[in-house]
Structure 1
Amino acid sequence: MSKRIPLNIQIFYGIGVSYAIVDQIFAQWILYFYLPPESSGLKPIMAPVLISLALAFSRITDMISDPVVGFLSDKFSSKWGRRIPFIAVGAIPLSLSTVAFFYPPTNSNTATFIYLAITGTIFFTFYTIVSAPYNALIPEIGQTSDERLDLSTWQSVFRLLYTAMAMILPGALIQYFGNGDTLKGLRYMVIFLSVISALGAFVTVFKVPEKKLATPVESSPKIREVFKDIMRDKPFQNYLFGLLFFFVGFNCLRAMMNYYIEDVMGHSKEMITVASAILFGTSALCFYPTNKLSKKYGYRKIMLISLIALFLLTIGLFGLGKFIPVDYGFLIFGLLGIPISGAAFIFPPAMMADISNRLTIETGNRIEGVCFGIQGFFLKMAFLISIAVLPIMLVLKGFGEVTKYGIYCVALFSAMSFLISFIFFYKYRD
């Protein structure tokens, strides 16, 4: 671990990725709240198509805001640093907007639609205000590749912890706070977890001395010059498209796990939690060896090996129940955690930190924020592609219902996405 950046500072930095909690709340509970299942004790709030349109609108706004916020943080200067003030300003509004999702007006579909679209826009704007500068702190305070890798590793550790917290605790919290009232329990659960999210961000704000650790690079680039410098860089382009196709495959992989457990392997819903724990638990165990191997061999080699493993294992899922016994499903999910450790958690912030640091040195302009903003744009694009493909593929050869054929098609689509990602990362050079 880095000696210039003490271990406690690295940990304080990692704690600040607590916005992963509200990310998981959005992913897991928004649709549940607005379009609940019959057994939930809740009533549907508005038509599914309006929910999709409102969230799509807010997502498009989110994609645009990523590079803009990054650019603003690059140009910003204060006695607290460039990035920390953005995290400080955005943390509380991000938590408040998360809570606001669960207090919509219900007098008309139009009012609810407008409310959801505006709340979603506010949520994603402040999510970007927190997350883009937070990630840009890695190249801001990390002067060497090893330092940046260590910071990224601690971020990954806490991201996984926060995600697990937001996946495991809600059921118990809803029961505790609601005492039989699902709506009350759900709202208080969201408030409780949102407070934790804000507190984690302020640990980084008050405990990470950005100004002391950052390398001073003073510049006032114009946004046109910044994008020109960045987008003509071939390694950066290969990295972005490699990342795009990896996360298309990874998002589809995560989404199809539930269907594999129930429809292909024939297990109950409770086993979905077990499969997730196996996958992400294995991933967590591999953080430290991935860190060490990356320092020795570089990111590109480990990433390429990870993508080959993901391709082969996802093909294994495609064959589950065909030429591979379904009993091997949990083993495959466990093995998937090994390459996911680096590819999904450690490498994206660490590799982008190195790329943005190189571009800052080459151009003489501080542009880490813009780089992470552009990366955010591609991550959101991956989400939109996967969310557009999944509903169509899952019901193939069915009559509006999920079919095994559709589930297998998603597995094959994921495998092909990992293969395309491999091609781009093969062109990439550390």
Structure 2
Amino acid sequence: MKLNKKVQVLYGIGVSYAIVDQIFAQWILYFYLPPESSGLKPIMAPALISIALAISRIVDMITDPTIGYLSDKINTRWGRRIPFIAVGSIPLGITTIAFFYPPTGNPTSSFIYLAIIGSLFFTFYTIVGAPYNALIPEIGNTMEERLDLSTWQSLFRLLYTAIAMIIPGLLIKVLGKGDTLIGIRYMVFILSIISIIGGFVTVFGVKEKNYSKGEVSKISFRETINSLKSYKSFYFYLLGLLFFFVGFNTLRATMNYYVEDIMGYGKAQITLASAILFGMSALFFYPTNKISKKIGYRKVMLGCLGLLIIFTGMLYFLGKILPTSFGFVLFALLGIPVAGGAFIFPPAMLSEISNKISEKTGNKIEGICFGIQGFFLKLAFMLSILVLPFILVWNNNGSGNVTKDGIYMTAIFSVISFIISAYFYYKYEE
């Protein structure tokens, strides 16, 4: 059956888990290791934060290929992928909220709590995310349909991420009424509810069995992994993706610090900076899509990385050579390459790669392909969150506080990550 626009839109709405993704990227570190001007107190030492989140990422990295493999093998009357989204959406929202209610006063208890909640969060994130992405080659039976599904997913991901970056500052101010802790908790609760609702729109709106051929993988986990070993471009793509998101996640996590500590503005300007970045990204979404159809993904992706290297490098000079107000211009410029690199390309590129692999192997193993991609995406989060607390306290003389030198060094770290990513995308054969 041919996919109509309604089904494509209902599929796209289900990427609402991007909201909790953004909450984690932008607010977890801010909450547990806040800047001096935030009104919050550090909950535990930077080293304990890094270890706790690293533990949760290790758990997550194990579940990614496992969930992908299971969704390739399972066969229900609702399909292979939809049941996972239905089971995981509510627990994912609950664990997101739980991040912001840690026990305080005892660093050991806080550490154990963060490690456990983080592990549960990423497990449910995988249960929802990997099968959701694998729906693209599952219900899209032509390249055009898969591209349309990827485009709608990218459009809604952009929307949800923009909401999760733009609205929080306003919600914290209005609902908190001067109390940052209460404001953040209300903000997280509201956004988590929106995330859950979006997931169930896809669960009830997309009848997977009407479009899927109902085929399942007939080979074991080991045989599946062995069948992927000969596809070098798949791994060049994954390595390029890994280092891109190490750099991008670092940028996302440090935007608040740049606005407040480098540029000297308040939480309302965090909202403005986010609106500028994602507004510009939205403007370049359609042109990026059109150019990619003509010359392919690889060349455009390399161009995006070139721009990211230049504009991210300029952040290092903000408040030194460049006036602090120029930061808003830089956020706008960064939005141009983010449109393609962070939104359009990951689902579109892997949909074609996984479909080609499934055709060559004779087994429908798209789920594990997206599970492996999820492994690399989570590894990127783990790497950035592992080193970021140490970078942020650069030259603090043992005080444990975030420094301006540390914030500037995050730009250098991101630039290095983008350069490595460009190398692997250059090696990738489209």
Q: Same fold (TM over 0.5)?
A: yes
Range with bigger deviation, 236-245 or 265-274: 265-274
Counterpart of 2:349 in structure 1 is 351
Structure 1 residues 87-117: Cα deviation after superposition (integer angstroms, max 9, x where no partner): 0111112122223334455685555443433
Query: Which amino acid is 1:143 matched to?
Result: N
Q: 1:410 to 1:47 in 2, by over 3 A?
A: closer
CA–CA distance in 2 between the matches of 1:172 and 1:83? Answer: 36
CA deviation after TM superposition for structure 1 residue 345, in Å: 0.8
Q: Which runs of 5+ in 1 are unaligned?
A: none
CA–CA distance in 2 between the matches of 1:301 and 1:240? Answer: 16
2:175 matches 1:204: no
2:317 matches 1:300: no
Counterpart of 2:362 in structure 1 is 364
Counterpart of 1:425 in structure 2 is 425
2:284 matches 1:286: yes
Counterpart of 2:272 in structure 1 is 274
CA–CA distance in 1 between the matches of 2:410 and 2:189? Answer: 35
CA contact (8 A) 1:54 1:116 kept: yes
Range with bigger deviation, 81-90 or 300-309: 300-309
Q: Which runs of 5+ in 2 are unaligned?
A: none
| Aligned-partner SS, 1:77 | coil
Counterpart of 1:88 in structure 2 is 86
CA contact (8 A) 1:314 1:411 kept: yes
Counterpart of 1:100 in structure 2 is 98
CA–CA distance in 2 between the matches of 1:236 and 1:85? Answer: 27
CA deviation after TM superposition for structure 1 residue 70, in Å: 0.5
CA–CA distance in 1 between the matches of 2:216 and 2:91? Answer: 30
CA deviation after TM superposition for structure 1 residue 264, in Å: 4.9
CA contact (8 A) 2:166 2:272 kept: no
CA–CA distance in 2 between the matches of 1:356 and 1:228? Answer: 15
Counterpart of 1:378 in structure 2 is 376
Counterpart of 2:413 in structure 1 is 413
TM-score when scaled to structure 1? 0.88
Query: Which amino acid is 1:234 matched to?
Result: K
Counterpart of 1:4 in structure 2 is 2
Query: Which amino acid is 1:126 matched to?
Result: F
CA–CA distance in 1 between the matches of 2:184 and 2:312? Answer: 35
CA deviation after TM superposition for structure 1 residue 79, in Å: 1.6
Query: Which amino acid is 2:199 matched to?
Result: A
CA–CA distance in 1 between the matches of 2:179 and 2:325? Answer: 39
Range with bigger deviation, 37-46 or 369-378: 37-46
Q: CA RMSD in A?
A: 3.0
CA deviation after TM superposition for structure 1 residue 320, in Å: 4.5
Q: 1:402 to 1:89 in 2, by over 3 A?
A: closer
CA–CA distance in 2 between the matches of 1:192 and 1:207? Answer: 23
Range with bigger deviation, 369-378 or 35-44: 35-44
Query: Which amino acid is 1:159 matched to?
Result: R
Range with bigger deviation, 205-214 or 415-424: 415-424
CA contact (8 A) 2:396 2:403 kept: yes
Range with bigger deviation, 247-256 or 201-210: 247-256
Q: 1:143 to 1:113 in 2, by over 3 A?
A: same
2:13 matches 1:15: yes
CA–CA distance in 1 between the matches of 2:390 and 2:92? Answer: 32
CA contact (8 A) 2:302 2:425 kept: yes
| Aligned-partner SS, 2:240 | helix
Structure 1 residues 108-167: Cα deviation after superposition (integer angstroms, max 9, x where no partner): 555544343322222211111001100111111122333222222221222222223333
CA–CA distance in 2 between the matches of 1:182 and 1:405? Answer: 25
Counterpart of 2:397 in structure 1 is 399
CA–CA distance in 2 between the matches of 1:398 and 1:337? Answer: 31
CA contact (8 A) 1:217 1:364 kept: no
Range with bigger deviation, 143-152 or 36-45: 36-45
CA–CA distance in 2 between the matches of 1:43 and 1:323? Answer: 32
CA–CA distance in 2 between the matches of 1:179 and 1:256? Answer: 24
Query: Which amino acid is 1:77 matched to?
Result: N
Structure 1 residues 303-349: Cα deviation after superposition (integer angstroms, max 9, x where no partner): 12212222232333345556656554432321221111010111011
CA contact (8 A) 1:73 1:369 kept: yes
CA–CA distance in 2 between the matches of 1:360 and 1:418? Answer: 30
Query: Which amino acid is 2:411 matched to?
Result: A
The percentage of counterpart residues that share the same residue type is 65
CA deviation after TM superposition for structure 1 residue 253, in Å: 2.7
CA–CA distance in 1 between the matches of 2:327 and 2:242? Answer: 26
CA contact (8 A) 1:153 1:287 kept: no
CA–CA distance in 2 between the matches of 1:233 and 1:366? Answer: 16
Q: How many residues align?
A: 428
CA contact (8 A) 1:149 1:346 kept: no
